[in-house]
Structures are given as structure tokens and as C-alpha cells.
Amino acid sequence: MRTARTLFVVTILTQFLFLVVHSPQKFVSHPVVSTFSIAAFDPGNGDVGVAVQSKFPNVRPVVPWAESGVGAVATQSFANVSFGPKGLTLMRNGATAEEALSILIANDSLRQTRQVGIVDAKGHAASWTGNECFDWAGGTAGENWGGKGMQVTGKGFAAQGNILVGKETVEAMARVFESTKGSLADRLVASLVAGGKAGGDRRGEESAALLVKRKGAGYDGTTDDYIDISIYDHPKPLQELERLYKLHKLYFFRTEAKNLISIDASISKELQSILKDKAYKGMEFYAGPVNGTFDGATKKALQDFMGWENYDVRIRDDDKIDKEVLEDIRKNYAEWKSRKR
């Protein structure tokens, strides 16, 4: 068994070296991205993703990488951006998170300046912090911890950071990720915010990103792009990430059965009044009587309005409405009316 495993790793390494030799333009190093991040996997539905915050502009194209059914990578400090695509390639070809990370750093002469967290689609996790990363620097994979010059392995998630106020940032990230209920994205956001509150980057805040992949969960079901949020430059990027994540859930997440309510006469009359108000959006979506009857004309007007307002994935063809959409319609209309006064 040991011999077979050794042969497997050698095969993966050979494939990796072939990529480096034949596609060197893809594997370039990037400037310092000192930050804190968490890469994680959800065994319940296979979600993989990364949440990251940094005192560095536009962290999204540098640190977080993920692929449904494969895993996720966070590459930072004096970031070797190629660790993202190369790490995913290694795991796609069968390497575990630990094996992929070991191969990446073994073949990087600047490994001591790097920091990397990796999870694979089976839940294995690994984190590396080089000796030359600025203090405080370190990471955890599951319950296992490691400081500078150490690679640690575990299960479920890898959290790490450098140029931090202290270890408390990563401790808070790990604790909150493990204790928070909800989806992987919910837990990633909560974890990152907790890390910021515990100290975060010693230099302050600037950018953040949330990347989550789920099979077939893109806008129209043809991609795995479940969540991809980037804050390029902002005085409070973690607060902005929370705000944008809330918006993303409204406009891109599909309706949950528990959120469906029937459009009774009262709701229908309310919607007819809004849809008939031409001054609101510059056009009259509904031209019929405001009588509370949810007939074909009212349903068509509501569908058109929901498309106009970007509730695309929550448009329905029955007599029900998502209560989150209804609440947002009510809020926006009320705010518009108050501005008119």
C-alpha cells in the first residue's frame, strides 16, 4: 500500500512539473498579500470556498481559488498566485490537500515567504506558513495549529493569517466557523467577520472577497459559480461584505419552500396598487382594476416587475410569492414614496 501511494504521488508530481515546464507564463509570483483567510469544505452538500480580508487592494484575483468537486486554495503573504490553479490541478488529479500543498511548497524557492491554506473535496485540510512571513503569522487546520515554518493538517477547514495583531484573529475564525450554523457561505462570512473583530490585519482593512462553488448553482444553473463577491477598496470591507452577501442571497439564491406564501386578496390588492403606479418606475406594469383578485393579468404584471427589479431566479408561475421578495418590494416602494414627500 505504501509503495502504491508513493508511486501515486510521484505520478502527480510528474504531471505538475510538466505543467510548470510547458506553461511557465501561468505560474508567476505576485506581491505581498498579507491577510487572513479561511478555506473550507461542507461535507453535507459539497460546497467549497474561501473568505479573505486584507490591507491590500483587490484581493479577489490573488488569494481565493475554488472548484466544485475538487477543493479550495487560499494563497497569500508574498503570494504565489499560481498555487491556486496548480493546487486545484493537483487535487483534480487525485492528490489530497496535504499532498498538493507539500508539492507546491517543495517546488518553490521562495516557500518561506508564502502562506497557503488548502482543502480538498473530501474534507482534508492543510495550512503552511513560511518562516519569513511577517508577525503575527500562523494557521490552523481543524484542531491542529502551526506557526512559522510549519505545515499543519486536519479536517474541514484551513484558517491562516500574517501581519496580524495576534493569534486571536485565527483563533476567533476557527471557533466561529465551527460553532456557526447555516450554509458554508454563512459560516465563512461569520468566521471572517469574527477574525476582524478579534484584531485582524495589523495595518488595517482595505479589501475582501467571498468565493463559493456549488455544482450547478450558478445564475442559470449552467455553472458552479454560487457566490463570487469582491470588495476592491473600502474603509470597512467586512461590513461591506456582509451587506453584499445579503444582497447576493436576495438576487441570486433560489426560493426556499419555507419562504413561500400565498397571494391572498390583501397582498394582491397591495401588489396591484404598486404595479399600477406609473410614477414609481416610469411605466405601468398593471392596467387593470385594484380589486384584490390575483388573475392572469396581475400574475403577468408581477412577473414582468420581478424581472425588471432583478428578482429573476424567484419569478413564479403560480399564486405564491417569496416573502423575502415581497418584503423587499414593500421596503423599496415605501422608501420611494417617502422621498417623494
> How far, in Å, CA of 326 to CA of 328, rounded?
5
Percent of the chain with pLDDT strictly greater than 70: 90
Contact by Cβ (8 Å): 154, 125: yes
Average pLDDT for 145-157: 96
By DSSP bridging, strand 114-120 and strand 48-54 are unpaired
pLDDT of residue 33: 59
Tens digits of residue pLDDT in 25-67: 333 444 555 699 999 999 999 999 999 999 999 999 999 999 9
Q: What is the pTM of this model?
A: 0.88
Question: Whose grid coordinates read 451587506?
Answer: 243
User: How far are the Cα atoms of 51, 261, 264 from residue 267, in angstroms, in the given order?
Assistant: 39, 10, 5
Tens digits of residue pLDDT in 67-98: 999 999 999 999 999 999 999 999 999 999 99
Q: Where are the beta strands (DSSP E) in 163-287?
A: 207-213, 225-231, 260-262
Number of neighbouring beta carbons within 10 Å of residue 104: 26
Q: Which helix (H) or strand (E) holds 154?
A: strand 150-155
The Cα angle at residue 205 between residues 200 and 208, in degrees rounded to 5: 95
Domains, the chain, with CATH or none: 2-252 (3.60.20.10), 257-340 (no CATH)
Tens digits of residue pLDDT in 184-200: 999 999 999 999 999 99
The Cα angle at residue 214 between residues 34 and 200, in degrees rounded to 5: 20
